[in-house]
Structure 1
Amino acid sequence: MQKVSCPSCGAPVEFKSHASVMAVCDYCKSALLKDADSVRDMGKMSAVLEDYSPLQVGTSGSFGGQEFSVLGRIQLRYAAGLWNEWYVMYGDGRAGWLSESGGQYTLTGEKEATGALPAFEQIRIGAPYNVLGKVCTAADVRTAQCTGGEGELPFSVGAGWQAKVADLRSGRSFVTLDYSEGSAPKVYAGQAVTLEQLKCQLLRDDDTVRDSAGKYTKSVQPLACPSCGGSLSWVPGVTKQIVCPSCRSPVDTTTDVAAVLAAGERMEQFDTTLKLGAKGNIGGAAYQVIGAMLRRDDEGEEWTEYQLYSPRGGFLWLIETAEGWQRSRLQDDWPVWNPSETVKVGDLAYKKLYEYAATVVAAVGAFNWQVRAGDTAQVVEYEAGKNRLAAERTGEELSWSWSTPVGADQLRAWFGLAIPDAVLAPKTDIMKLAEYFLYGVAGVNFIPLMFDFDETWHYSAFAAAAIWLPAKIISMMQD
């Protein structure tokens, strides 16, 4: 450990790792670069946005029998949001990175590159690449800006520093190709992890996250919509964008001052079964509905997706369709995708069900990425029994989600809402059922009627009317 005095304010600054070449002063936020014989001031480092993350500098944990400590963080911003890269040091002196994005975590370390690697510009989302002897799928390709940092870092970053990175996945394996320093990438490999697996200590508690999330260490002002002045109801720090409930302007919350991304844009209002702010206990964790968006496929079918958040449970989706409800969560364990008619996760094979384009029609509330009306993604759904896997792809990102049906009683138990069965249950077309049954009755009677068309025909007609009329009346009452 090396202790120095900040050249700017004189406060003590510690370099816990000899591999660290930069540290950010906790007091004045000066970025300090460690030379061979001195430490010099590189100027101010932008403060990080205190988001929903339970991690902090000083958090410790263990994985695979190796203990580690979090020494520093950089925050990286791209067009649709931001993510955290936590710099960690293991007990044996090795360094690594704990990446945190949208409530998902990956733990990686630098590896020696082997074999030919693709150029950054040649990587295509969803395409397979052989990296470190394993076929991986390109999941994410981005050029991001470093917008803030704290603690110790193994390299120098400052204003204008860019990260050009591509993430690839196979099963739980995770590989990052970092092209930030040139055409030949650095390779970082590891796997997807959860906070429970990391056995973390000294995490920020829920109250701390709630009190500080969404705030910069400098002055903070109440957030109002810059377009109409209306107040914005949101979960601080959890979200990257709010859609103003009053004027429907999308407001970016990851910048120092909230800015209207498209002041003239208006998103169509739509009614939702679950209201923003609704709270439910799901799997022992307290969740809250923070956003909802209406989507439509290329055949005109519409459905509503609700984003929920829990400080410890992370992000969760509830999907309301004409067939009923589903609970969905992003996958850490990825299948190898060709794309093909079947995909396999573990020992379970999923068969291809649908392929379509999903377009955002309207959105309201808050999301952990920027959502706009007109955003379109290509979706491929696979099915195994009642469970489904869905691959959702845009030009920059591929994600996999797993979903399972949710019953009416279960939804009521979670939220304590008196929602009628007609809303929660699959919307069965009563008239169609009556029509199909009528066809069956006619079919059964068709053959004998051909040979003996006597006065008994009116009995069949009466039975058909007895089936059709009640169904018609019920249908009219529902309308």
Structure 2
Amino acid sequence: MLSVSCPSCGAPVAFRSHASVMAVCEFCRTTVHKDAGAVQDLGRLSEVLEDYSPIQIGTSGKVGGRGFTVIGRIQLRYAAGMWNEWYLMYDDGGSGWLGDASGQYTVTTARPLPSGWPDFERVRVGAQYDLGAGLFTVSDRRVATCVGGQGELPFRVGDGWQARVADLRRGPAFATLDYSDGDTPVLYTGFATTLGTMQCQLLRDDEAIKASAGRYRGKVQALQCPSCGSPIGYLPGMAANLVCPACAARIDAATPQAEVLAAGERAARVPLTLTLGAVARIGNQDYHLIGAMKRLDDDGEEWTEYLLYTPRGQFFWLVETGEGWWRSEVLDEWPEPGTPAAPKVALHNIAYERTLDYPARVSWAAGAFNWKVAAGERVRVREFERGQTSLAAEMNDEELTWSRSTPVADDQVRAWFKLPAPPTAPRGKSAMSPNDLRWRFLLWMLGLNAVPLLFNFFDTVVWLAAGIFALFISFDAKKD
């Protein structure tokens, strides 16, 4: 480990990895460049926005049998949200990256770039490219800006530095083509993972997060809408893209001062089965309903999607349709072949057939979301089914996501949210109209006469007709 003095304030700055070329002074935020034994002051780098990630500098774990330690971090922001890239130093001297976005994680390392890679401007979401290990499907393509950093990094970066990246997926595998340094990209490959799978140690607990941020991770806070002043419940750092339920203004709460992105008009009251802020007890965890939106297709069919979050888990959607309720979760492992244009896909060796292909548009939204959402946004949806399980690919020009949905009974939803049972029809004579009684009695008479009808057809039919005539006459007389 190399330790140098900060050129700005004199505080010690450590370089633990030989691959690190710069580090951020913990005391004055100066970026220190290591070059041929000398150090240079590259100016100050902004502090990262507190996003309540449990990861921190010094977190350790194991991936593929290799131990690692987190030694650096850059925070990147793009049009629809933000994410962290944690720089890893492996025990064997290698290095890699841990992507951290809304509780979903990927681990990657640099690999040789095969021939046939596309130009950044020609990369298209949903297209497939061979990266030397089979065809990968482009999941997103974006230009992001660095808004903060910590610790050591393997390249020079500062405020305003831009990353041009395209992410690709193949089953559980993950890859990134990074065009930040020019037209020839750097290839990083790896896979999706979880903190538990990585056996992470030295994660920040609730008390450590509260000490640095002033509040607990995952605790819903209230923010006054800068446009109309109405309170909005949200998760700071986790779901900071807000839509005011009162005035429909879109708000970016991921900045020191909440910014109104687009002032909306006073929103009409939209009836919802579940209310924003409601808490569901699912298993042994409390899930907060933090966002809701309505979507519709070109045929006018509408449904409602509710976003739920728990501090110890990931986001998931509860979808209310005319056919019932569905629980939908974003997939880390993609089906094969991964492209929504395929007539069939397979997940965990189970085949799903495409059944629906339609455009969907957001018609209304309110609450907090982990990406920027607004009325009018459109995606193309392709659904694949096997039994009662459905896979859905949602795609626009910037992103492709896959999710899996399973049905949830109405009684189960009511139990989760402690909702009252639906009203039942009254019982007794008043519950049945005279016509209902008439036809029920008629059916009873037909059944009663069915057996003798077989043995004495003519006589039975005569008496049956007379009885039916008398029945109708009596009912009509009572009605008058």
TM, length-normalised to structure 2 = 0.84
**How many residues are aligned here?**
430
For the residues of structure 1 that align with 2:24 and 2:230, how far apart are their CA atoms?
37
CA drift of 1:207 comes to: 4.3
CA drift of 1:311 comes to: 1.8
CA contact (8 A) 2:52 2:238 kept: yes
CA drift of 1:12 comes to: 2.0
The residue number in structure 2 matching 1:135 is: 135
- Counterparts of 1:183-332 in structure 2, within 5 Å, are 183-209=183-209, 212=212, 223-332=223-332
Corresponding letter in the other structure for 1:367? F
SS of aligned partner of 2:121? helix
Corresponding letter in the other structure for 1:108? T
The residue number in structure 2 matching 1:412 is: 414
CA contact (8 A) 1:98 1:108 kept: yes
For the residues of structure 1 that align with 2:423 and 2:127, how far apart are their CA atoms?
44
- Counterparts of 1:59-78 in structure 2, within 5 Å, are 59-78=59-78
- Counterparts of 1:36-47 in structure 2, within 5 Å, are 36-47=36-47
Residues 210 and 366 from structure 1, CA distance in 2 versus in 1: closer, same or farther, beyond 3 angstroms? Answer: farther
The residue number in structure 1 matching 2:85 is: 85
Structure 1 gap ranges (5+): 216-220, 423-433, 435-440, 442-453, 464-479
The residue number in structure 2 matching 1:163 is: 163
1:337 equivalent to 2:341? Answer: no
SS of aligned partner of 2:269? coil
CA contact (8 A) 1:127 1:138 kept: yes
The residue number in structure 2 matching 1:358 is: 360
CA drift of 1:287 comes to: 1.6
For the residues of structure 2 that align with 1:397 and 1:302, how far apart are their CA atoms?
23
Per-residue displacement from partner, 1:255-288 (whole Å, max 9, x unpaired)? Answer: 2321111124554431222222222232433321
For the residues of structure 2 that align with 1:330 and 1:313, how far apart are their CA atoms?
13
SS of aligned partner of 2:338? coil
For the residues of structure 2 that align with 1:266 and 1:134, how far apart are their CA atoms?
51
For the residues of structure 2 that align with 1:353 and 1:461, how far apart are their CA atoms?
53
- Per mean C-alpha deviation after superposition, the further-off stretch among 33-42 and 355-364 is 33-42
Residues 351 and 57 from structure 1, CA distance in 2 versus in 1: closer, same or farther, beyond 3 angstroms? Answer: same
Work out which of the residue numbers 377, 380, 392 in structure 1 matches 2:379.
377
CA drift of 1:206 comes to: 3.2
Per-residue displacement from partner, 1:230-256 (whole Å, max 9, x unpaired)? Answer: 333211111131112332211011223
CA drift of 1:337 comes to: 3.4
Corresponding letter in the other structure for 1:255? T
CA contact (8 A) 1:318 1:325 kept: yes
* Percent of residue pairs bearing the same amino acid type: 53
For the residues of structure 2 that align with 1:98 and 1:172, how far apart are their CA atoms?
15
Corresponding letter in the other structure for 2:198? L
Corresponding letter in the other structure for 1:192? A
SS of aligned partner of 2:234? coil
Corresponding letter in the other structure for 1:350? Y
CA contact (8 A) 2:246 2:266 kept: no
CA drift of 1:421 comes to: 7.5
Per-residue displacement from partner, 1:157-178 (whole Å, max 9, x unpaired)? Answer: 0122110000110100111000
Residues 79 and 462 from structure 1, CA distance in 2 versus in 1: closer, same or farther, beyond 3 angstroms? Answer: farther
Residues 37 and 354 from structure 1, CA distance in 2 versus in 1: closer, same or farther, beyond 3 angstroms? Answer: same
CA contact (8 A) 1:389 1:402 kept: yes
Corresponding letter in the other structure for 1:159? D
Residues 319 and 460 from structure 1, CA distance in 2 versus in 1: closer, same or farther, beyond 3 angstroms? Answer: farther
For the residues of structure 1 that align with 2:258 and 2:308, how far apart are their CA atoms?
22
For the residues of structure 2 that align with 1:161 and 1:459, how far apart are their CA atoms?
92
Corresponding letter in the other structure for 2:134? K
Corresponding letter in the other structure for 2:37? D
Corresponding letter in the other structure for 1:363? A
CA contact (8 A) 1:269 1:362 kept: no
Work out which of the residue numbers 351, 359, 362 in structure 2 matches 1:349.
351
Pairwise CA RMSD: 2.7
SS of aligned partner of 2:197? helix
For the residues of structure 1 that align with 2:10 and 2:21, how far apart are their CA atoms?
19
- Counterparts of 1:86-101 in structure 2, within 5 Å, are 86-101=86-101
The residue number in structure 1 matching 2:477 is: none
Per-residue displacement from partner, 1:319-338 (whole Å, max 9, x unpaired)? Answer: 11111111111101112134
For the residues of structure 1 that align with 2:303 and 2:470, how far apart are their CA atoms?
40
For the residues of structure 1 that align with 2:342 and 2:375, how far apart are their CA atoms?
30
Larger Rg: 2
Residues 66 and 140 from structure 1, CA distance in 2 versus in 1: closer, same or farther, beyond 3 angstroms? Answer: same
